[in-house]
Structures are given as structure tokens and as C-alpha cells.
Structure 1
């Protein structure tokens, strides 16, 4: 139980950091695309919308290529089909936006409950429960009191202290990964620069002034 609680606190802190780093809107779009990949009523509506839109563009192209004076009957038929499809697309668009808005609201609530909500709930619920015990006699009393704050037994690590430690570890891991990626990217750019510099040097030619100065030095 304790091991699972320790891991749960760490995963909550990691999830909250990922949400803040990636962004809520980006996560919502990823989850929405995954949801559309599932055979649901919404995914069927989206597929139908794409089909209607393709048909609409075809009729619109034919309508623009048809003269209303020379081919009035054909033009009128295409015009009716065009207007009908346009109205249907507008209705489907409204339905799609309503479904997307409802989906985003649900995801936002679930994300808040599983990140921010748990970050407040877990320390409150397990405030008196020690996460693990410190080795006896290794730390002075004031250090044990701080680590057990607010209501865990003296000599143990409280969930609030463990949560703070997890936040620090997650931030450290994030900074380390960012630094490693920055070094790798810088190394790739540095490898490309000599070739580019050489190519630039080959294209450069001596100007008449520089050549005259060199001749004066030689003389």
C-alpha cells in the first residue's frame, strides 16, 4: 500500500508537470484525435462531414465552370445541390463544434481531478500517515520535525514532504532532459557549420582592394 502511494504521488506530480509543459490545448487535441479513431457516433459524423465536404467542393467547382446563361438548366441544378450541401455542412459543423466543446470540458475536468485535485486531496487525506521512516538518530530533531510536517509522526517523512521531493525530482529530470537535447542539437548544428563555412569560403573571392594590399606587402 505504501509503495503504491509513494508511486501515486510521484505519478501525479509527473502528470501535472507534463500538462504544464505540453499544454492543455495540445493534450485535448491529441485525445480528441484518438477518440475519433474509435468507432463512435461522433467519428461517423466526422467521416460523413469529410465526405460531404469533398462532394461540396466538387459541385462548387462544376458550378463555377458552368455558365448560368448558356447552360441555365445545368447551372440551376448544380446551384440547388450546392446550397443544400452548404446548409448540411453548416449544421454538421455546429454539431461537431458542440461535441468537441463537450469533449474538451470532460477532459478538462478529468485532467484537473487527476492532477491538481489529487495534489490537494492526497496530502489532506494521508496527512497523518508516514510515507516511510527515517533511520533512527541520523537526523537532528528539527530536521525530523520538518520532514514530518504537518501531522505525520516525528521521525517519518510526511506525504507533503514526499510530494515536495517528487516535484523537485521531476523538475530536475525535466531540466536534465532539456539540457541533453540542447547539447545534442548544438552538436548537430556544429557538425553542419564547417561544411557550410567551407562552401561559403569557396564562394568568396578576393576583392581588388585586398589583392592590392597583399601585392604591396609582398613588394
Structure 2
């Protein structure tokens, strides 16, 4: 893939992630991770919750005075189930925190980090050359920091791509939120004249 397209795709992916939201992507990726790698823990958590609800309902229907032995047994069972559920919830919360750190690191590496690497690696390369004398004395600025004179550097091309994508985003948002045009209402002039004559 050519350098010009590679840089545009990297900048677009970074903007796409910011549009969707990194937390939304994290939740989707974590749900997929749980389904693939921690399915047994999730099933166990679901089963514990269902058992606890059933035992709590039975405990509420059992009289502590009339059926104390049954009530005490159910109470111990509910307490043990709550302790098991808290332990499992703690394990899953720790797993989610660890996953979030790794996921955010991966997203950073694939977007911002990769942009830094590409910018550094191709710092002396020209993305493309401008026609001679096209912008006059300003052409040196487009080659900053190390690209050949008369060319557009990787850093400047990244800035241009980012700016164009953000302007495109703003235009799409304005078009999406603009109100629909209101159709003119037909007014019967003769009826208005009749009303004014009756009032006078």
C-alpha cells in the first residue's frame, strides 16, 4: 500500500475509534472475550444469581419462628451463595480491569503509536511532490521537518488528513441535525376578508 493511503487509513481509523468511543469498543471486546475465554465463569455467575434469587424468595416465605430449622438452613445457604457470588464478581472485575489495560494499550499502539512509528520511519520521505512554484515560498513549510524541498512530508500529510476528516465529520453532523424545510401554508384571502366584514 502506498504511503499516502497508509497514512490516511491510520488517521481515519484513529478518528473512527474516537467517533465510536473507546469505552464502547472496550465493552464489546470484553463481552466477546467473556464469551470465548470465560464462558464457564459467566455461566457459573448466572447460575449463582438464579439460585440466590430462588433461595431468597423461599427464605422470605419461611417463618423464622415457626420453621426455625428450615429458615436457619436457608439463611446459611443464602449467605454462602452471596459469599461465592462476591468472590466470583471480584475475579471477573479483576479480569475486566486487566483486559481494559491491555485493550487500551493495543488500541493506542494500533493508532497513535503506529502513527508515530510511520512518521519517524518515513521522516525523510516525501508523500508526494507539489508542482514547482505552486505555493511560492510556503513550500518549505510543507516539507517540515526533514522531507525534501518541494514535497509534502508525512507529518504535514497526517495533519491535512486529520483536518479533512474532522471537517467532513462536522459537515455530516450539520446535515444530519439540520431541520427539514417547512412547507408554506396556503391562506385563503377571501375567507379572511369575509371575517373582517362580519366583525365590522
State the TM-score bracket (shorter-chain normalisation). Answer: 0.7 to 0.9
Q: Of the candidates 39, 44, 57, which is equivalent to residue 61 of structure 1?
A: 57
The count of corresponding residues between Structure 1 and Structure 2 is 190
User: How many Å separate the matches in 1 of 2:67 and 2:45?
Assistant: 30
- In structure 2, the partner of 1:142 is 137
Q: Hey, what's the Cα distance between the residues in 2 that align with 1:50 and 1:77?
A: 22
Q: How many Å separate the matches in 1 of 2:171 and 2:39?
A: 40
From 116, 141, 153, give the equivalent of 1:158: 153
Deviations 1:17-67 (A, max 9, x none): 2333333322211221222232x1x23211210111111111111111111
User: Which residue matches 1:28?
Assistant: 26
> How far did residue 178 of structure 1 move?
0.8
1:1-150, aligned counterparts within 5 Å?
Answer: 1=1, 3=2, 5-38=3-36, 40=37, 42-135=38-131, 137-150=132-145
Give 2:189's aligned residue.
none
Q: How has the CA–CA distance of structure 1 residues 91 and 111 changed in structure 2, closer, same or farther, with 3 Å as cutoff?
A: same
Query: Structure 1 residue 8: deviation in Å?
Result: 2.5
CA offset digits 1:190-210 (Å, max 9, x no partner): 79xx9xxxxxxxxxxxxxxxx
In structure 2, relative to structure 1, the CA distance for the partners of 1:34 and 1:177 (3 Å cut) is farther
Normalization by structure 1: what TM-score? 0.77
- 5+ residue gaps, structure 1, are 195-213
- Structure 2: how far apart are the matches of 1:17 and 1:140? 29
| Residue equivalent to 1:167 | 162
* Aligned residues: CA RMSD: 2.6
Alignment partners' CA distance in 1, 2:8 and 2:33:
27
Moved over 4 A (4+): none
Cα distance, 1:157 vs. partner?
Answer: 1.5
